[in-house]
C-alpha cells in the first residue's frame, strides 16, 4: 500500500468503524496479537490499512464499516455516562435496548442529571458533535433552591471564573417561582464538568434538578426516561451538511427550524 494512499487509515480506527470495539479496545486487541492483516499478525497499532486489505479479528473476517448513525436517548437520573464504573454503579449502556449496536455517548450528563443524551456508533461523528467549534447551543431546564432575580444571573451571562476555570457566557431566563424553588431555562455552548451546578453554586444557588432538553437541533421532545429514538439519516445529513452518505463537509451546521413544542411532563415542569 502506498504511503500516500488517501483511502488508508489506522487499523484501530478501521476496527472501531466496524463496530467491533472502541479505538482503545482495538489497540489492546492488536498488542494482544488478535488482529492480522493479509495473513500477518500485527504487534503494533501504528499500521495503516486500505479497503483492499484482508483483516481478521480472532481469526474471523472483520465486518464492513457501519454507516454513521445517531440516536436520541432520554437518560434517567441515577445512571453514569461511562462504559464501566469503578464503583459498580449502573451505567446508561447497561440500560439500552439490546438491539442497539455498540454506541458511544456524545459528551456526558452527570449521575444526577437527566434528559437528552446523544448516542452514536461512529467515533468521527462523536468528535465532530463535541467540538466547541460546532457552536451548537445546548438547552437545559434547571430547578434551583432559592428566589433569584435577573441580577442574580448577570455574572453567568457575562462569563465567570470558577475555581480558576473560565466559563463562557450562558443565557438564563427565569420561568417561574414555585415555592422555595425557581425553574430556569439555561443555554450554553460548551460542556465542562458539572458546569451548570458549579456556576449556580457560584451565585449562591443549589441545583436540585437538571434536565437537558436539546443539543443543537436535536431535541428531547416527548421521549420518556429510558427511551431511544434514531435520528433519521436524512435529518442527520441536513444538519451536518453531508453531501453524500458517510461524507461530511467542513461547514457550520444548519440551525434547527422553530417548532411548536408538544405537551410533555417536562413542559409542565417548564422542561429542563
Grid cell, residue 102, equals 455498540
Assess if residue 76 is contained within a domain.
Answer: yes
Residues 209, 114, single domain; the answer is yes
Domain extent for 119: 66-272
With beta carbons less than 8 A apart as the criterion, state whether 113 and 211 touch. Answer: yes
Assess if residue 2 is contained within a domain.
Answer: no
Residues 111, 221, single domain; the answer is yes
Residue 145 has pLDDT above 60, yes or no: yes
Residues 73, 184, single domain; the answer is yes
Task: Tell me, yes or no, if 149 is annotated catalytic.
Answer: no
Assess if residue 257 is contained within a domain.
Answer: yes
Buried-exposed string 122-155: b where 16+ CB fall within 10 A, e elsewhere: bbebbebbbeeeeebebbbbbbbeeebeeebbeb
* Percentage of the chain exceeding pLDDT 90: 57
Structurally, how many domains does the chain consist of?
2
Please enumerate in sequence order all residues whose Cβ is within 8 A of that of 16, keeping only pairs 6 or more positions apart, or say none. 22, 23, 26, 123
Residues 96, 137, single domain; the answer is yes
* Percentage of the chain exceeding pLDDT 70: 86
With beta carbons less than 8 A apart as the criterion, state whether 123 and 23 touch. Answer: yes
Residues 100, 188, single domain; the answer is yes
pLDDT-derived band at 196, boundaries 50, 70, 90:
very high
Range 66-92 average pLDDT: 91
Residues 148, 258, single domain; the answer is yes
The DSSP 8-state label assigned to residue 246 in this structure reads T
The DSSP 8-state label assigned to residue 127 in this structure reads H
Higher per-residue confidence, 132 vs 68: 68
Assess if residue 105 is contained within a domain.
Answer: yes
Q: What is the pLDDT of residues 206-242, one digit of tens each?
A: 999 999 999 999 999 999 999 999 999 999 999 888 7
> 159: domain CATH number?
3.30.2350.10
With beta carbons less than 8 A apart as the criterion, state whether 218 and 118 touch. Answer: yes
With beta carbons less than 8 A apart as the criterion, state whether 126 and 140 touch. Answer: no
Residues 93, 113, single domain; the answer is yes
Residues 145, 87, single domain; the answer is yes
Residues 48, 85, single domain; the answer is no
Task: Say what the pLDDT of residue 6 is.
Answer: 57
Segment 221-227 long-range contacts (CB within 8 Å, at least 24 positions apart): 221/72, 221/262, 221/264, 222/262, 222/264, 223/72, 223/73, 223/74, 223/116, 224/74, 225/74, 225/75, 225/76, 225/114, 226/74, 226/76, 226/95, 227/73, 227/74
> Catalytic pick from 53, 85, 110, 175?
110
> What are the backbone angles phi and psi of residue 249, rounded to the nearest 5°?
-95, 145
Task: Say what the pLDDT of residue 211 is.
Answer: 97
Amino acid at each position: 500500500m502506498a504511503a500516500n494512499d488517501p483511502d488508508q487509515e489506522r487499523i484501530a480506527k478501521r476496527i472501531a468503524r466496524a463496530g467491533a470495539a472502541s479505538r482503545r479496545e482495538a489497540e489492546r486487541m492488536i498488542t494482544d496479537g488478535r488482529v492480522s492483516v493479509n495473513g500477518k499478525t500485527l504487534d503494533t497499532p501504528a499500521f495503516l490499512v486500505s479497503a483492499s486489505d484482508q483483516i481478521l479479528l480472532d481469526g474471523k473476517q472483520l465486518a464492513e464499516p457501519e454507516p454513521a448513525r445517531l440516536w436520541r436517548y432520554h437518560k434517567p437520573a441515577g445512571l453514569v455516562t461511562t462504559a464501566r464504573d469503578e464503583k459498580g454503579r449502573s451505567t446508561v449502556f447497561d440500560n439500552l435496548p439490546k438491539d442497539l449496536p455498540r454506541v458511544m455517548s456524545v459528551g456526558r450528563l452527570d449521575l444526577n442529571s437527566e434528559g437528552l443524551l446523544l448516542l452514536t456508533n461512529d467515533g468521527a461523528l462523536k468528535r465532530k458533535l463535541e467540538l466547541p467549534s460546532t457552536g451548537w447551543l445546548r438547552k437545559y431546564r434547571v430547578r434551583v433552591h432559592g428566589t433569584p432575580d435577573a441580577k442574580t444571573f448577570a455574572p453567568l451571562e457575562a462569563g465567570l471564573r470558577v475555581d480558576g476555570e473560565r466559563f463562557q457566557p450562558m443565557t438564563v431566563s427565569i420561568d417561574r417561582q414555585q415555592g422555595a424553588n425557581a425553574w430556569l431555562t439555561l443555554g450554553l455552548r460548551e460542556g465542562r464538568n458539572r458546569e451548570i451546578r458549579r456556576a449556580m453554586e457560584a451565585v449562591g444557588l443549589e441545583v436540585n434538578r437538571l434536565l437537558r432538553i436539546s443539543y443543537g437541533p436535536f431535541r428531547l421532545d416527548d421521549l420518556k426516561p429510558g427511551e431511544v429514538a434514531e435520528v433519521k439519516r436524512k435529518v442527520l445529513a441536513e444538519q451536518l451538511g453531508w453531501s453524500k452518505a458517510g461524507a461530511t463537509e467542513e461547514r457550520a451546521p444548519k440551525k434547527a427550524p422553530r417548532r411548536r413544542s408538544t405537551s410533555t411532563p417536562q413542559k409542565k415542569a417548564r422542561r429542563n
